[in-house]
Amino acid sequence: MKFTAGKEDLLNGIRIVERATVVKGLQPVLANILIESFSNNQVKLTATDFDLSITTIITAQVEEEGKYTLPAKKLGDIISRLQDELVKIELNGSSATITCKNSKFDIIGISANEFPPVEENISEGDSIEIETKPFIKAIREVVSAAAGYETNNLLSGVVCEVNKNVLEMAATDGNRLARVREVIKNNSADSEKVFEMLISSKVLAELSKISLLAETESIKICKEVKKIVIALDKTKIITKLMQGQFPKYNQLIPQTFPKEAVVDKFSLISALERVAVMVNEKNSIVKFEFADNQLKLSGDSPEAGNSQDIIDVKYTGEPLTIAFNYKFVLEFLKIVESEEIAVKLNSSLSATVFAPCSEEDYIYLVMPVQLRG
């Protein structure tokens, strides 16, 4: 194996695939990146943790075909510190020599024969090709609402449906629910066919980050019964589809709200962050009191004391006191793009919906916390 590549191309490729490496796994080779050089002047980088595999292809000047695995972290550290010049990588027995201008490194790796096979080819019978930008935007708006604990728990997944030119995504952890709908360009061969999938929120979060490195206007998704391949230009993400029946989340959203407040997003973020200084971190409860065009926020901790803040809002309904885990509300506020937020209310114990006042079809439902006394 011997090839020469641009530093930025190589570093970009490493940063894309290293997200699938395992730092402390039972198999040391899972902390490595498989590097394969081909005679058509392409170098393929692959990483896997068995649940998630990522491959990407970069252009290089290949002198000798070959393959070898090198530790992802060490390789990334070396390449990131090199000058912005051509980088040469050559295999010498059990190590690879990396040279760039006056810099030289010998890095020990593991034989490519020990790297587990990654099957990235999949039938395209059930597939879609859609715009990347709204798809990634939808991921960012819902992924934080998914449960983060067990990877095999359905609530740690995100449900996604593409119906003609409408994308719908939703996630819930049982305490909150995020749902977004986006109008998209559907370039699929059969754009009339409804495409559905339930996929790990962790995988989608990684996809969102990778999309910044692998910029492309469209994204192609192919799925089989248990497997899915997501392709962005020369990068592929291969993972398992989650199996099971996701909750019928649209039935959880109240149809009417007798009370509604309109708040400035930035004012609410600032006030919440101030009040949260004195909140008990075990429950993260902040009390919201709506009355006469004002919102009073308050928090307390038996060990530390209490805090309160008042901001102006648009609210003319009957006074209402309700409490939330403030972290759930803050996460929504820091994701949503609209500067004005509608807070749709029923009672102090009913689900509350936070939604942008813009035309965007995005709702974030939060279950309130029951206050003692």
Exposure on the CB side of residue 196, measured as CA atoms within 13 A: 8
Segment 19-31, tens digit of pLDDT = 999 988 789 999 9
What average pLDDT score do residues 47-74 get? Answer: 96
Give residue for tokens 């190590």.
95
Both tokens assigned to 226: 């248990």
Percent of the chain residues topping a pLDDT of 90: 82
Q: What local confidence, expressed as pLDDT, does residue 307 receive?
A: 95
pLDDT for residue 151 is more than 60: no
Q: What local confidence, expressed as pLDDT, does residue 4 receive?
A: 97
Q: How far apart are CA 235 and CA 34, in angstroms?
A: 14
Q: DSSP E strands: which ranges in 26-85?
A: 32-38, 42-48, 52-59, 61-64, 66-71
Segment 264-298, tens digit of pLDDT = 999 999 999 999 999 988 889 999 999 999 999 99
Contacts 24+ apart (CB under 8 A), 358-363: 360/180, 361/180, 361/181, 361/182, 362/141, 362/178, 362/179, 362/180, 362/181, 362/336, 363/177, 363/178, 363/179, 363/180, 363/253
SS3 259: strand
Q: What local confidence, expressed as pLDDT, does residue 373 receive?
A: 57
Tell the burial category of 278 from Cβ atoms under 10 Å away from its Cβ (0-12, 13-18, 19+): middle
Q: What local confidence, expressed as pLDDT, does residue 122 receive?
A: 78
Q: What local confidence, expressed as pLDDT, does residue 152 receive?
A: 61
Please tell me which residue, 80 or 186, carries the higher pLDDT value.
80
Selection from 88, 46, 94 nearest residue 64 by Cα:
88
Q: What local confidence, expressed as pLDDT, does residue 226 receive?
A: 86
Selection from 65, 29, 33 nearest residue 46 by Cα:
33
Show the domains of the chain with their CATH numbers. Answer: 2-114 (3.10.150.10), 127-250 (3.10.150.10), 254-366 (3.10.150.10)
**218-223 vs 127-131, strand pairing mode:** antiparallel
pLDDT tier, 331 (very low <50, low <70, confident <90, very high otherwise): very high
What average pLDDT score do residues 125-134 get? Answer: 90
Q: What local confidence, expressed as pLDDT, does residue 150 receive?
A: 59
Give residue for tokens 């609209």.
338
What average pLDDT score do residues 70-81 get? Answer: 97
Torsion angle, alpha carbons of 184, 136, 214, 31, to 10? -140
Give residue for tokens 């010498």.
92
Mean pLDDT, the chain, rounded, equals: 93
Q: How far apart are CA 154 and CA 242, in angstroms?
A: 7
Cut 0.95: pTM above it: no
Tell me the β-bridge partners of 34. Answer: 46, 69
Contact yes or no for 168/186 (Cβ under 8 A): no
- DSSP structural state of residue 302: T
pLDDT for residue 137 is more than 60: yes
